[in-house]
Amino acid sequence: MKTLVISSLLLTTALTISSCKKGCTDPTAINYDEKAKKDNNTCQYDEGYTIPTTYSFMDVSGNSTVSYSGQTERLDQLSEMVVLMKTGTSTVLDAQVLKDMFSNENGNGNGNFSFTSTKQLKDKCFTIDQGLFETFMDDLAAASVDNANTASDGVAGTLSSGTSTYLFDENGVEHVQVIEKGLMGAVFFNQALNVYFGSGKMDVDNTTAVDPLIGKYYTTMEHHFDEAFGYFGVDTNFPTVVPNRFWGKYCNNQDVLLNSNADMMNCFLKGRAAITGAELADRDQAILEIRREWEEISAYQAMAYIDGAIANFGTDDAKFLHELSEAYAFAWNLRYAPVETRRMDPTAHAELMAQFPTNFWSITLADLNNIKNTIDSNY
């Protein structure tokens, strides 16, 4: 995996000049080029198993062994929550409705989802995070009561930029972004990287199909790996098709700097193929690389939004506070990075988050640059 640290125009130029050689940058490949600075997707492997070009795996009888419908349902639940939350710019939201969707009451969000499901977002969060997100929902609903106000320091309300209107609380926080991006970390990121890629889900049976009689042709290990892929939230032929939501969207946003589209998909494909081929060392290497890259995507997206806040500082309060709220959430998500690969320990991460003031209106350009430099120095 590659990590470009861009701290100044001079350094950017130097990196551009010295990083022009392309080739295979994966040391495990048989055509690894130690002089290559940027991967050009030409790596070749001698694994003894076949890696497909799309996330499609079958047993010897041609039955699909891929299944992650539960993860797709949770992504869809969050999508519908976001649609509802964004209506708070013009209607008064009911916090209990959001909480019912969060816990998926009665299998349909208490009538607020367009589909039924046995899955929920709430029970996939840590207990402390469950309460935190419900508090955010209370704050969002309270701000929506004042949506006719023009938001200002100490006053909840809305602000517009171009055709976009955003709802902020009295501290300038856009809770729609904090809830959406925060759940991307607390559920999707954490569940994939810590739970499904953890030993409890990976050190399991990989020899027997779970239940072919009801269409479960996959082994338990294969299924768990698929569920991690499901939380990444991309199409089976990503990056040919790029999603417009959640981690797949932001992976694509950071692709120019990180080559993240190919890196993530190639590792998901290789890791899953390695499981089918019973080459668990290759599976573990793929998991390691996915963990590193996914964390980098969150860090680089946080820095990108800090750049956006800086660009709009003092000229467009709506965009400034909107991007700052998103930056806060992506920086917050770094706390869920697996201990095996994380770049910031809990103390360092707490120090990073302490650089964000409670009142976003009070943040200075120096604060913004310090936050970015803190992330930059670790990534």
Q: Work out the pLDDT band at 20, boundaries 50, 70, 90.
A: low
Long-range pairs of 190-195 with CB within 8 A, sequence gap ≥ 24: 190/124, 190/126, 190/336, 191/124, 191/227, 191/228, 191/231, 192/227, 192/228, 192/229, 192/231, 192/232, 192/294, 193/228, 193/290, 193/291, 193/294, 193/295, 193/336, 193/337, 193/338, 194/336, 194/338
252 and 299 in a single domain? The answer is yes
Per-residue pLDDT tens digits for 126-135: 999 999 999 9
Query: Of 231, 257, 205, 229, which Cα lies nearest the Cα of 333?
Result: 231
* Residue 13 pLDDT class (50, 70, 90 cuts): very low
pLDDT digits (tens, 9 = 90+) for 296-310: 999 999 999 999 999
Q: Is the pLDDT of residue 10 over 60?
A: no
| Predicted pLDDT at 230 | 98
Q: Is the pLDDT of residue 172 over 70?
A: yes
Tell me if 7 is assigned to some domain. Answer: no
Domain that holds residue 41: 19-48
Query: Is residue 10 a part of any domain in this protein?
Result: no
Residues 26 and 95 in one domain: no
Model confidence at 45, in pLDDT bands (50, 70, 90)?
A: low
For the cut 80, the answer to whether the pLDDT of residue 374 exceeds it is yes
Residue 128, number of CB atoms within 10 A of its CB: 8
Residue pLDDT, tens place only, 253-286: 999 999 999 999 999 999 999 999 999 999 999 9
Q: Are residues 136 and 24 in the same domain?
A: no
Per-residue confidence band for 16, with pLDDT thresholds at 50, 70 and 90: very low
Among 36-50, 77-91, 177-191, which stretch is predicted with the lowest mean pLDDT?
A: 36-50
- Indicate whether 34 and 108 sit together in one domain: no
CA distances for 230 relative to 25, 75, 135, 249, 268, angstroms: 27, 9, 28, 14, 11
pLDDT of residue 106: 98
Contact 202, 224 (CB under 8 A): yes
Q: Are residues 41 and 109 in the same domain?
A: no
Looking at the domain assignment, is residue 1 inside a domain?
no
What are residue 38's DSSP bridge partners? 22
Residues 36 and 164 both lie in one domain? no
Q: Is residue 2 part of a domain?
A: no
Please tell me whether residues 146 and 24 are part of one structural domain: no
Both 245 and 374 in a single domain? yes
Number of domains in the chain: 2
Inside any domain, residue 12: no
Same domain? 153 vs 254: yes
Asked whether residue 59 is domain-assigned, the answer is yes
Query: Which pLDDT band, with edges at 50, 70 and 90, does 226 fall under?
Result: very high
In a domain, 4, yes or no: no
- Same domain for 173 and 64: yes
Least confident range from 46-50, 213-217, 286-290: namely 46-50
Per-residue burial over 346-370, b if 16 or more Cβ lie within 10 Å, else e, is: eeebeebeebbeeebbebeeeebee
* pLDDT for res 8: 40
pLDDT at 203: 98
Establish if 3 belongs to a structural domain.
no
Mean pLDDT of the chain: 93
Q: What percent of the chain has pLDDT over 90?
A: 87
- Do 219 and 114 belong to one domain? yes
| Other CB atoms within 10 A of residue 274 CB | 24
184 and 261 housed in the same domain: yes
